[in-house]
Structure 1
Amino acid sequence: MPSRLKLAVSALSFAAALTLASAALAQSSAAKPERIRGEIVSLSGNTLKVHRRSGETVTIDVDDKAGVNAVKNIQLADIKPGSYVGAAAAPGPDGKLQAKEVLVFPEAARGTGEGHYAWDLGANSTMTNANVDTVVQGTSGRDLKLSYKGGSNTINVPANAPVVTLIPATSAELTPGKKVFVVATPASDGAYDGHLVVVEKDGVAPPM
């Protein structure tokens, strides 16, 4: 598969999984998707075992329908007006939103999970998936003016905040010891059905 097409397919898999995850925020069913962050213990066939940050080890089914991606570091300067980003942030000392990380989506994934909603990357964290209207250089990083359907906000991105974009990956890269971010739905047997896996590659761990 040509690399550009492969990236588009990979990005669309990521888009579908994040849309599912963000839609689940408004649901109360027991089967709503979860975000699993941790380290790979093993992969046997389609069965991925992950040791979560919270301490327990979980089993995730990652069949051919599950999207597998990785991320690579890019520069804060690579974020331009017109970029479509996902920024996890929390209020800083001055009350303004300060980014914990920013994912710059490939164009094929524009519109993924659009909006501003609660996130689980620390206390009072939020996620804003939106278009970048303006980028203003400040004394501490850059301020991104973001707009999405129904609203807008401004997020300061410190110079030390991780800024990444998606790159294609395969299940062969799901090796023990690597960090992962997984969107998965609890299954009836206590395991999970995986929808999206973002795996560490070349030393770059998924920051989301």
Structure 2
Amino acid sequence: MRSMFSFQAVVGLAMLGFVAPALAQQATNIRGTITSFDGKVIAIKTQDSRDITVDLPETVNVAITRPFTMADVKPGMTLGVTTVVRDDKVVAIDVRPIPPAAPAGLSSYDLAPQSTMTNAVLEASVAASGGNELTLNYKTGTVKVLVPPGTPMSQSAPGTRADLKPGETIYVAARNDGGKYTAVRVQVSKDGVKPTQ
């Protein structure tokens, strides 16, 4: 359970319709497994084995996770790619499509130590040693990213609260008000396809 390092990711979620645009507090990313849901409160066993509860307001929609593969990656689409640097190469650890209206650029992210989230338009995808190389363009630059085989890839789709079942893997972006968590975005696994953990 870790905090985002940049509000750009929060703004991007607002563009997706999952986060209140007026969110003025730092968001916390919560990743784990649902233990219960009573219609209003989600109980979660986090990745670091904490038991926490998250309030789910009526205004917050639930997203489910669907497959997304390199075969779905096409030039001109907008991608959100989380990367790390390995052996002087920018390497993807997560790839997903995002709406074109999402803010473009780079920001620090908490998926892994020293990881970066890049929201950008795909210029090209070519086979490369060790995977596929994506050329991503954003307002102030271009970055080439290696996507190794087996890199987590997924996309979100509209879900319902009925999808919040015990045992499902969940990702929540939440406000933390003195230890009380309130969801601003929720994405849950579906048919074995999990949100990025």
- TM-score norm. by structure 1 comes to 0.81
Q: Partner residue of 2:107?
A: 117
Question: Comparing both structures, which one devotes a greater share of its residues to helix?
Answer: 1
In structure 2, the CA distance between the partners of 1:113 and 1:56, relative to structure 1 (3 Å rule), is farther
Does the residue aligned with 2:58 lie in a helix, a strand or coil? coil
User: 1:19 Cα deviation (Å)?
Assistant: 8.9
Aligned sequence identity (%): 31
1:205 aligns with 2:194: yes
Does the residue aligned with 2:166 lie in a helix, a strand or coil? coil
How much is the aligned-residue C-alpha RMSD, in angstroms? 2.3
In structure 2, the CA distance between the partners of 1:99 and 1:206, relative to structure 1 (3 Å rule), is same
Does the residue aligned with 2:113 lie in a helix, a strand or coil? coil
1:98 to 91, 94, 102: 91
> Is there any run of 5+ residues in structure 2 with no aligned partner, and where?
1-12
Question: Comparing both structures, which one devotes a greater share of its residues to strand?
Answer: 2
Q: Partner residue of 2:185?
A: 196
Taking the aligned partners of 1:18 and 1:112, their CA distance within structure 2 comes to: 12
> Is there any run of 5+ residues in structure 1 with no aligned partner, and where?
1-11
User: 1:185 Cα deviation (Å)?
Assistant: 0.4
- Report if the CA contact (8 A) 1:86-1:102 is conserved: yes
Q: Structure 1: which 4+ aligned runs deviate by more than 4 Å? A: none
- TM-score norm. by structure 2 comes to 0.85
User: 1:37 Cα deviation (Å)?
Assistant: 0.6
How many residue pairs match? The answer is 185
Describe the superposition over 1:25-72 as per-residue Cα deviations: whole angstroms up to 9, x where unpaired: xxxx8x411111111111112111111112212211112211211121
1:39 aligns with 2:40: no
Taking the aligned partners of 2:56 and 2:152, their CA distance within structure 1 comes to: 27
Q: Partner residue of 2:172?
A: 182
Q: Partner residue of 1:69?
A: 63
